[in-house]
């Protein structure tokens, strides 16, 4: 970007997908609308991408953080297409479709895609054995329970407990939540995590009936895609491609922003590479607890509220096997474990069954997920111990005794935001308090959605809002 006297400098702090999306939107708008903008993106780590990290080990492709993009929210795949990645989008493997729950001592397949007929789906569910007969009876109350009035926010456990009963919360909702939020259904807000469910009740009265009608694929661009997709060579491709398209923006890897001050009519940054002056606006796209620390001297009210957004730590542990060593090939995409089973992992994904191009023909890649609100102490173990814990769990839960060809451990420290009850109101309050400080914006997984599509949308939307006020 050519800088002239009227050039507005904008800083983006954090090079995860939210910060990258914000910087990308700023650069394309600047190009298309001939705006005199100069964008600096600061990332404390050597690499861009934040939680999105793909590594290769020979023919194995390891998505260490996120491994799938939800297609029901269009913004992730839209960005992939815009970046010319359409041909690299891969669907989940239909032939292995299915997830199991570890319940009452063994893996039990969750009914999933068992045909389009309602009666078959209901029959599959009832015969799955995931919950007891009395719980199945209690769950069926959802079909007849009244909608109930509009409520203040409540926990997922309160909402689902009311509709489906306590056992369903413990054995179905809890493991599903751990797989997405690494969180505790007794603390997480139903409105900020899955607003779709209260909407279902308001519209159709019953969650079960709404789910039975729910599509298992999405029309996306010119294709019909399953609910989850990925990129052939891993989601790291999204980071590579978006960074290549930030032409004009200056990227500063391995530079940590330690302080934010007012300076003249704008903002100055204290960074590990020295002081940088003259920013008309700053987008804070680092985790909320980092952004809170930076905002404290300037916007203490917003900072105090941002500090109350809890983050949890997790780890992913990969196991590559020779397929013939496994004996029977594991079924489905993997399994999830309810807290009440008292295990030390939250679940495992059979990556080779979920996506193609992840392992050689004779190989099999598995990934265990540890940590979050409930198995947090396991993440304190060193790598060797963590691998040992996961191997023991895979043996006891899934009967896998094989010696892995290699293992890899990835740590995600304080990187999982928890949308506790009251989160939506908290975000409104943060936004209102920040509105008193023109030129300061926050974006990222801590606020309006943790998935890649949400972070892309929020990053881009934040950039658009900024442009409205800075270039107006």
Ligand X SMILES: Cc1cc2nc3c(=O)[nH]c(=O)nc-3n(C[C@H](O)[C@H](O)[C@H](O)COP(=O)(O)OP(=O)(O)OC[C@H]3O[C@@H](n4cnc5c(N)ncnc54)[C@H](O)[C@@H]3O)c2cc1C
List residues binding ligand X (CB under 6 A). Answer: 13-19, 42-45, 50-52, 65-70, 256-257, 285-287, 290, 314, 316, 412, 415-416, 444-445, 450-452, 455
Q: Are 60 and 320 in contact (CB under 8 A)?
A: yes
CB of 414 to ligand X, least distance (A): 9
Report the nearest approach of ligand X to the CB of residue 412 (Å): 4
Residue 69 or 100: which CB sits closer to ligand X? Answer: 69
Cβ nearer to ligand X, comparing 165 with 449: 449
Q: CA-CA distance, 228 to 93, in Å (whole number)? A: 10
Nearer to ligand X, 52 or 157 (CB): 52
* Backbone phi and psi for residue 398, each to the nearest 5 degrees, phi listed first: -115, 5
Structure tokens at 173: 């909702």
When the beta carbons of 128 and 443 are compared against ligand X, the nearer one is 443
**201 vs 409 by CB, closer to ligand X:** 409
Q: Which is nearer to ligand X, 80 or 164 (CB)?
A: 80
Nearer to ligand X, 257 or 389 (CB): 257
In the complex, minimum distance from the CB of residue 340 to ligand X, in angstroms, rounded to a whole number: 23
Least spacing, CB of residue 217 vs ligand X, in Å: 18
**Which tokens sit at 161?**
């407990």
Q: For residue 40, what are the β-bridge partners?
A: 11, 250
Residue 23 buriedness (CB in 10 A; 0-12 / 13-18 / 19+): buried
Q: List helix spans (H) across 127-173.
A: 133-139, 156-164, 166-168
Closer to ligand X by Cβ: residue 351 or 452: 452
In the complex, minimum distance from the CB of residue 185 to ligand X, in angstroms, rounded to a whole number: 18
Distance CA 60, CA 42 (A): 31
Q: Are 220 and 91 in contact (CB under 8 A)?
A: no
Q: Which is nearer to ligand X, 167 or 458 (CB)?
A: 458
SS3 at position 321 = strand
Beta strands, E only, 217-256: 217-220, 223-226, 228-231, 250-253
Provide the residue count of the chain: 472
Q: Which residue has tokens 């650069």?
A: 27
Residue 54 CB, nearest approach to ligand X (Å): 12
Nearer to ligand X, 338 or 416 (CB): 416
Cβ(398)–Cβ(348) under 8 Å?
yes
Q: Considering the complex, what minimum distance in angstroms separates the CB of residue 13 from ligand X?
A: 5
Q: How far is the CB of 45 from ligand X (least distance, A)?
A: 4
Distance of closest approach, residue 18 Cβ to ligand X, in angstroms: 3
Q: Please, which residues have CB within 8 angstroms of residue 241's CB and are 6 or more apart in sequence?
A: 83, 84, 85
CB of 46 to ligand X, least distance (A): 10
Distance, in Å, from the CA atom of 435 to the CA atom of 469, rounded to the nearest integer, reads: 11
Instruction: Spell 80-113 as b/e; 16+ CB within 10 A means b.
Output: beebebeebbbbbbeebbbbbbbbeeebbbbbbe
């Amino acid at each position: 970007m050519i800088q002239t006297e009227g050039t507005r400098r904008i800083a983006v702090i954090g090079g995860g997908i939210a910060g990258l999306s914000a910087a990308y939107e700023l650069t394309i708008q600047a190009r298309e609308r001939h705006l005199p903008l100069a964008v600096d993106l600061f990332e404390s780590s050597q690499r861009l991408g934040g939680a999105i990290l793909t590594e290769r080990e020979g023919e194995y492709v390891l998505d260490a953080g996120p491994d799938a993009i939800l297609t029901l929210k269009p913004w992730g795949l839209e960005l992939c297409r815009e970046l010319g990645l359409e041909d690299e989008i891969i669907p989940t493997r239909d032939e292995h479709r299915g997830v199991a729950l570890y319940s009452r001592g063994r893996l039990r397949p969750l009914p999933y895609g068992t045909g389009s007929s309602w009666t078959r789906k209901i029959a599959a569910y009832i015969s799955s054995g995931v919950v007891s007969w009395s719980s199945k009876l209690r769950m069926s109350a959802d079909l007849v329970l009244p909608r109930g009035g509009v409520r203040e926010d409540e926990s997922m456990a309160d909402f689902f407990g009311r509709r489906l009963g306590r056992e369903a919360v413990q054995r179905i909702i809890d493991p599903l939540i751990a797989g997405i939020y690494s969180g505790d259904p007794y603390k997480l807000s139903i409105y900020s995590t899955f607003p779709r469910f209260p909407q279902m009740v308001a519209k159709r009265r019953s969650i079960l009936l709404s789910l039975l009608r729910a599509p298992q694929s999405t029309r996306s661009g010119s294709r019909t895609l399953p609910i989850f997709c990925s990129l052939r060579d891993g989601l790291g491709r999204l980071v590579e491609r978006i960074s290549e398209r930030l032409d004009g923006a200056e990227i500063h890897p391995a530079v940590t922003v330690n302080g934010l001050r007012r300076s003249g009519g704008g903002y100055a940054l204290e960074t590990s590479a020295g002081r940088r002056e003259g920013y008309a606006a700053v987008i804070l796209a680092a985790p909320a607890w980092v952004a809170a620390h930076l905002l404290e001297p300037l916007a203490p009210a917003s900072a105090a509220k941002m500090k109350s957004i809890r983050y949890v730590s997790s780890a992913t542990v990969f196991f590559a096997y020779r397929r013939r060593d496994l004996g029977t090939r594991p079924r489905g995409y993997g399994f999830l474990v309810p807290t009440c089973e008292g295990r030390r992992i939250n679940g495992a994904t059979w990556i080779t069954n979920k996506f193609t191009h992840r392992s050689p023909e004779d190989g099999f890649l598995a990934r265990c997920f540890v940590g979050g609100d409930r198995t947090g102490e396991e993440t304190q173990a060193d790598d060797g111990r963590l691998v040992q814990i996961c191997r023991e769990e895979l043996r006891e839960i899934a009967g896998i005794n094989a010696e892995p060809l290699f293992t890899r451990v990835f740590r995600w420290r304080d990187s999982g935001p928890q949308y506790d009850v009251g989160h939506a109101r908290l975000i409104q309050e943060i936004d209102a308090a920040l509105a008193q400080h023109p030129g300061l914006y926050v974006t990222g997984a801590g606020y309006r959605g943790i998935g890649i599509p949400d972070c892309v949308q929020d990053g881009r939307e934040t950039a658009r809002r900024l442009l409205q006020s800075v270039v107006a």
